[in-house]
Amino acid sequence: MDLSGKTALVTGAASGIGTACARRYAEAGASVICTDVVDDAGQQVADEIGGRYRHLDVADSSAWTALAAEMADDPGHLHLAHLNAGIMMGLSDVAEMSDEDYHRIIGINQHGVVFGLRAAVPLLEAAGGGHVLITGSMASFSPLPVDLGYSMSKHAIAALVRSAAPNLAERDISLNAVCPATVGTGFLGGNRDRLEAAGMVIMDAEEVAEAAMAILDSGLTGECFALFKGRQPEPFQFATIPGADYRSRR
């Protein structure tokens, strides 16, 4: 996809998948607005790609409102919003999950996406349409007992994409999620070599960025694309609900 002359917004752009995607969108010609809460690293990425940096706590709805107001006054209309920011907490015992733990991971991983989507839609409409891509995970499809909050929040991403896409399609806005398997980011805590030695397959963040470009160019919407190392992204085939066709059998 050629993004020349277009504006892209990337949350969580200071590291990992966010950095890789910001770079890739800039390579495709986009003017990229990088956002994060790690200001030094985020500004460095923006400077590297000739973009702009804005501090943004995605869990703060008022911060999204302020950013959207700023962008509405910008002559460069928004064409792509990549809602990527997310965290892991590694909590496996629900009885030990504090209110603070729960609100933090749901605030960033789930509320942050909803707030971002809500803020982006009017901006994309003003541009005549565009794209929203959300970073999901294999945990959007399957249990992750080692991190309950992460799995719960990423399942919610899949539901949001599938439910909101039809309405947005009527406004010429596509909505998809890229859902990679294990990626070599800071989430691994510096243990990539040890994990790969133990047999775990780990992809680079740049593979996710290439998959993002393929998804944007796919013409599809409402899909959660599963991504494995060395393979093209493919829409995940959700199971049919048992008895869903009961009306036709009456």
Query: Mind telling me the catalytic residues?
Result: 150
CA distance 225 to 214: 10
Contact assessment for residue 177 and residue 136, using Cβ atoms and an 8 Å cutoff: yes
Three-class DSSP category at 10: strand
Q: How many helices, marked H, and strands, marked E, lie in the chain?
A: 9, 8
Task: Give the DSSP H or E segment for 167.
Answer: helix 148-169
CA 169 to chain centre: 18
Torsions phi, psi for 169 (to 5 deg): -60, -35
Torsions phi, psi for 167 (to 5 deg): -65, -40
CA distance 39 to 35: 8
Taking Cα atoms as reference points, which of 154, 129, 149 lies closest to residue 224?
Answer: 154
**What letters, b where the CB count within 10 A reaches 16 and e where it falls short, cover 113-136?**
bbbbbebbbebbbebeebbbbbbb
Q: Is 59 exposed, middle or buried (0-12, 13-18, 19+ CB in 10 A)?
A: buried
